[in-house]
Chains A and B, each alone.
Chain A
């Protein structure tokens, strides 16, 4: 019983740790490439593109 309680507690702890980390990483990523580089061109140009402005 004691071992089961300990295992459940440890599992819950690791699960919550990973879930919160996932959530905050999502919260970080949702802002990436939006408003962070105000000088960035609106149409991203791939370095291997023929510079036509089309995102390949």
Chain B
């Protein structure tokens, strides 16, 4: 059953907000880690919570070794530890994705559904972020706080991707007491999320497909409706997580920033599922582009940027589903963005494109272009995404 429709989720969330904000001794994220462990046990059952705890403990042990290796300085011999950590995290991700596909077909690959219930696709991204930060010399959180970062109960449904640095900064800050205005702002965000998910998205679904009708994608009109449905559904979940995060004082990134008003596809991906975009930029796009430019030379910087875009979005496609159609979808997304970048670079060289008339036209036509492009790009993969 959908977690947001379970009464116990809201009891647990309310209790967690109160408990995390109480002036207990200890660091704020340790407090959240403790409360989060209890929340996971109440919502998923003690076996699943113990599994999540074990996952965090193994990650913590590997990260401790990684941190010790980093502390021995640049003169330390090269070790394969970062690779072991990454291979373990990515191996579990591949298992999780294959298991999801097999479960959709009726036969599970793994004997337990722990990875699915923890939304491991998101946990994997957080593991990579934590690993990179610790390897770069940032402090490692204690195991309970790390569990709070990796598997926060309020992000179990659909992320967003938390940022390790933000979690660490919140751990080092002294928590402010929950005032009326902050509480009201948090409740306002949560209820807006519920309005998006349960009224606007569900209303649109009922309007288009009937009260109990399945989501179908017969033509492009269905695809356009589903795109708007997906926005309200996903943005709704993200707002609920954001509101609960604000109420508890736990860093929770903003995931959607009016993406339907984006001026172009690049702008769209900055606003839609922004936490994933930020992760891809930090962990794939920038390191890969830097490496390519260093190896190819600055004269081929543009080619490096275009190739990096395509490779980054190929990862985005595979992250959504480990299959050939999703791989091709990722390549198509990356190619569209690369083509758009070429056109924008060409326009920048022409003075007429900088005029107020052209800018106004771009403001008006931009969102329509983005909407049509995304409907066309999403049309072949609805079967996997929904």
The answer to whether A and B interact is no
Which A residues form the contact surface with B (CB < 8 A)? Answer: none
